[in-house]
Amino acid sequence: MASQRELQFMRRALELAANGPERGINPRVGCVIVSSDGTVLGEGWHRGAGTPHAEIAALTAAGADAARGATAIVTLEPCNHTGRTGPCVDALLDAGIARVVYASTDPGTVSSGGGDRLRASGVDVEAGVLAADVDAFLGDWMTTATLGRPLVTLKWASSLDGRAAASDGSSQWITGPESRDDAHLLRSQHDAIAVGSGTVLADDPSLTARDAHGELLSNQPVPIVFGGREISDGAKLRQHPLPHIQLDGRDLAADLHELRERGIRSLFIEGGPTLASAFVRAGLVDSYVAYLAPTLLGGDRVALTDLGVRSIDHALRLALSDVARVGDDVRLTLTPKGQ
Catalytically annotated residues = 55
> How far apart, in whole angstroms, are the C-alpha atoms of residue 173 and residue 294?
12
Q: Beta strand 30-34 with 71-76: parallel, antiparallel or unpaired?
A: antiparallel
3-state SS class at 147: helix
User: CA–CA distance from 65 to each of 34, 44, 61, 96 (Å)?
Assistant: 13, 17, 11, 8
> How far apart, in whole angstroms, are the C-alpha atoms of residue 146 and residue 106?
9
Question: What separation, in Å, do the N-terminal and C-terminal C-alpha atoms of the chain show?
Answer: 33
H-helix or E-strand containing 332?
strand 329-336
> How far apart, in whole angstroms, are the C-alpha atoms of residue 162 and residue 166?
11
| In the chain, alpha helices (H) | 4-17, 54-62, 88-95, 114-120, 131-138, 140-147, 177-188, 197-203, 252-261, 273-281
Q: Beta strand 245-247 with 222-226: parallel, antiparallel or unpaired?
A: parallel
DSSP output for 89-115: HHHHHHHT--EEEEEEPP--TTT--HH
Is-contact 337 293, C-beta < 8 A? Answer: no
User: CA–CA distance from 128 to each of 43, 105, 118, 181, 216 (Å)?
Assistant: 20, 7, 15, 42, 42
Neighbouring residues of 62: CB distance < 8 A, sequence distance ≥ 6: 33, 41, 42, 70, 95
> How far apart, in whole angstroms, are the C-alpha atoms of residue 29 and residue 78?
10
List phi, psi (to 5°) of 32.
Answer: -125, 130
Tally Cβ neighbours within 10 Å of residue 62: 24
